[in-house]
Each structure stands twice: as structure tokens, then as C-alpha cells.
Amino acid sequence: MPETLSPPRLLPSGDAAITVEFSRTIDDAANRRVLALDRLIAAEPIGGITETVPTYRSLLVHYNPVEIGFEALGEQLLARAAKALPTAAGTRRWRIPVAYGGENGIDLEDVAKALGTTPDEIVTRHVAGDYRVAMIGFTPGWSYLSGLEKFLHMPRRKDPRLLTPAGTISIGGIQTGVQCLAGPSGWHLLGRTAVRTYQLHRDPIFLLEPGDAITFTAVDAKTFAEQDRAAEAGEFIAELVTP
């Protein structure tokens, strides 16, 4: 994929952060380059960088302007980007149980109607997907996944809900996601998982990393309730599958 190795754009985000932009659209190849650059910076640190934040299409690099300036840092970032090759090696895969439909996924039937099929087929297709954490953002643990099959692409709701449950598994646009905390969302709610991607007083506090691979499995509402109690007590529930 030689065309994907074109240099990223360096965009100033104030005097203490640079947006390293690989694409302007949601693009899996660009996201892989974002994550590759993120890993390379972790492996070969650049003095003055305080934090990196991967997103779909860009890496936001926070830095201390007292230690390094935009030009010097930009040069080093471009050099890293040129040699940061996306690789599948070392990818972790998680299996995440989901209770689909009913009170756990109040939009499942409407989604099926809108797409001209049955709730069962929606579940079968969603479970069959091979997903990757493209970014985590908005609120703690909210994991945006790439890899949703075209059949399930659906515009977001016109009126976002102000409150959706913790652990919601939803679809919106061309994405699917694992939401950790209760909060607002304009996506369509397919189900819930007991997995806490963010939980205080657990090690690790954040379960998923950008780049992790994700598979869903369907469980019934009773199993979800049991898993939810175990998760509250600190269990991961998500199963780490060795690649």
C-alpha cells in the first residue's frame, strides 16, 4: 500500500499540541497508521511529548512548549511516521458477551424493520463481525469500533437520547461501539454488555487499548444479569483470546 505512506499533515492545535492527520475521512488504513505511529512514539519517545491520543484519522500529540517547539517536534513526528509501518503482530483479541434486544437493546426491532430484516439476523450479523478499537474517546472507556459490515450501516438518530445505559452496544453510521458509562448517545441501541471498559479500583482501570481486536458473543438476559454482578465485583467478563 505505497499510497498510504504519504506524509501526514501537521496541524497546530494551539501551542501545546499537534494533530498528525493521516486522512480526513474514516479510513481503516489511516487508522492503522495512526496506531502504528502511536506505538512507535511509545517505543522511541520524543522529549517534550506529554501524551498521545489516537483517533480514527489522526494522532493528537500533546507537548510541553517550554521543552520543544512545533517545528522541531513536527520534523521528528514526520520522521517517525515515515517508518511507522502498520502491523497486525501483537494484537490482542477480546471476546465480549452481549445481551441483545429486549430491555437491553431497545432499538433492535426498529433497526431490523428499518433494514428490512429480522432482529435475529441483525444479531447474527453483528456477532459475525471482526472489529477493531479504532479510538476511545468522548467519555472514559467509550470505544469506537471499525469493521461494521455495510448491511448494518445506518444513519444516527435525528434526536440523540440524553441518557443511554452503561454497557450499551450500539451502531451509528458506519461504526459500532462499546459504551462504558451511562450518558447521551445518538446511536441505535442493540444490546448491553456487563464488561466495564473503565472501572476504578480494578487493575487495569481501562480494559481496552486502541488497536485491540473485538469479537462479540450473544448471551441471554439472565446471563447478562449474573455477569453484571460479577463485573461490579471487579471481574473482567471480557475474555482475552490469544491470537
Partner 1 sequence: MSKLVVTSIGPASSVQDAGRPGSQRYGLVPSGAMDRLALAAANTLVGNELFAAAIEIGPFGAAFTARGGAVRIGLAGAARNADIGGRPVASDSSATLAEGETLNLGFARGGSFSYLAIEHGIEGEPMFGSLSVNARAGLGSPYTRPLQSGDELTTHPASGAAERRIELPDATDAPIRVLFGPQDDEFSDENKQLFVGSEWKISATSDRMGYRLEGPVIKHLDGHNIVSDGTVNGSIQVPGNGQPIVLMPDRGTSGGYPKIATVISVDFGRFAQISAGRPFRFKAVTMAEARAEAIKFHQFLRSLPDRLRAIEDFSLNIEALRDANVAGQAVSAVDAATWQVAVP
- The nearest distance, CB 129 to partner 1, in angstroms, is 20
Which of residues 100 and 198 has its CB atom nearest to partner 1 in the complex?
198
**Strand order, beta sheet including 49-54:** 9-12, 17-21, 58-63, 49-54
φ and ψ at residue 78, rounded to 5 degrees? -65, -40
Which of residues 92 and 125 has its CB atom nearest to partner 1 in the complex?
92
Interface contacts to partner 1, rule CB under 8 A: 11-17, 19, 21, 24-26, 38, 50-60, 62, 65-66, 69-70, 135-142, 144, 181, 183, 198, 200, 206, 210
Which of residues 53 and 218 has its CB atom nearest to partner 1 in the complex?
53
Relative orientation angle of helices 28-43 and 70-83, to the nearest 10 degrees = 110
φ and ψ at residue 61, rounded to 5 degrees? -110, 110
Collapsed DSSP state (helix, strand, coil) of residue 95: strand
- The nearest distance, CB 119 to partner 1, in angstroms, is 29
Type of residue at 119: P
Which of residues 42 and 82 has its CB atom nearest to partner 1 in the complex?
42
Q: What are the cell numbers at 187?
A: 446511536
- The nearest distance, CB 114 to partner 1, in angstroms, is 21
Which of residues 129 and 183 has its CB atom nearest to partner 1 in the complex?
183
- The nearest distance, CB 90 to partner 1, in angstroms, is 17
- The nearest distance, CB 212 to partner 1, in angstroms, is 12
DSSP states along 8-75: PEEEE-TTSEEEEES-SS--HHHHHHHHHHHHHHHHS--TTEEEEEE-SSEEEEEE-TTT--HHHHHH
